[in-house]
């Protein structure tokens, strides 16, 4: 992959961290160029961060790099790109937590009341508040009839 990309191609460094170890070893000179450029160029700093994260042994053994906190370097040199990465991580975490709460609520409702109507499932699937879903799990425990629970939804 790296052999086919020109050094002048600005973003070839982005491909670097995702290469197999053999390719990195064969292209050690190109890798060293990126390491040198990372100190002043945000594009290269982000590539270096991912290289250190994904290939730490290569960085230590082949490049004789001390693995400093490249996260800090990347955050400082590429604040916008770093912010997008952090936002994506938080988004994924929130989506995972919402999904788990929705599943827990549906499981509780199914166990307590039998099958849950499709329209109620759809309504719960659209909820995007952790606090609201958490409160509904408590209500599911307290309600004696599914209709009472549905009344709580409003």
Reported confidence tier of residue 1, pLDDT bands at 50, 70, 90: very low
> How far apart, in whole angstroms, are the C-alpha atoms of residue 45 and residue 36?
9
The predicted structure's pLDDT at residue 69: 59
Angle between helices 79-113 and 42-54 (to 10 degrees): 50
When the pLDDT of each residue in the chain is averaged and rounded to a whole number, the result is 77
| pLDDT single digits (tens) 12-25 | 555 666 667 777 77
The pTM for the full model equals 0.52
End-to-end CA distance of the chain: 57
């Amino acid at each position: 992959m790296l052999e086919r990309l020109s050094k002048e191609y600005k973003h070839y460094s982005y491909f670097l961290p995702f290469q197999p170890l053999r390719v990195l070893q064969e292209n050690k000179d190109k890798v060293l160029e990126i390491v040198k450029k990372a100190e002043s160029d945000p594009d290269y700093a982000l590539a270096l961060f991912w290289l250190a994260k994904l290939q730490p042994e290569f960085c230590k053994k082949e490049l004789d790099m001390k693995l400093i906190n490249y996260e800090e370097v990347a955050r400082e040199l590429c604040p916008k790109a770093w912010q997008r990465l952090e936002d994506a991580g938080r988004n994924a975490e929130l989506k995972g937590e919402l999904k788990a709460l929705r599943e827990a609520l549906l499981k509780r409702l199914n166990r307590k009341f039998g099958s849950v109507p499709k329209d109620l499932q759809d309504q719960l699937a659209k909820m995007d508040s952790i606090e609201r879903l958490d409160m509904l799990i408590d209500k599911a425990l307290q309600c004696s009839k599914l209709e009472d629970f549905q009344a709580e939804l409003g």
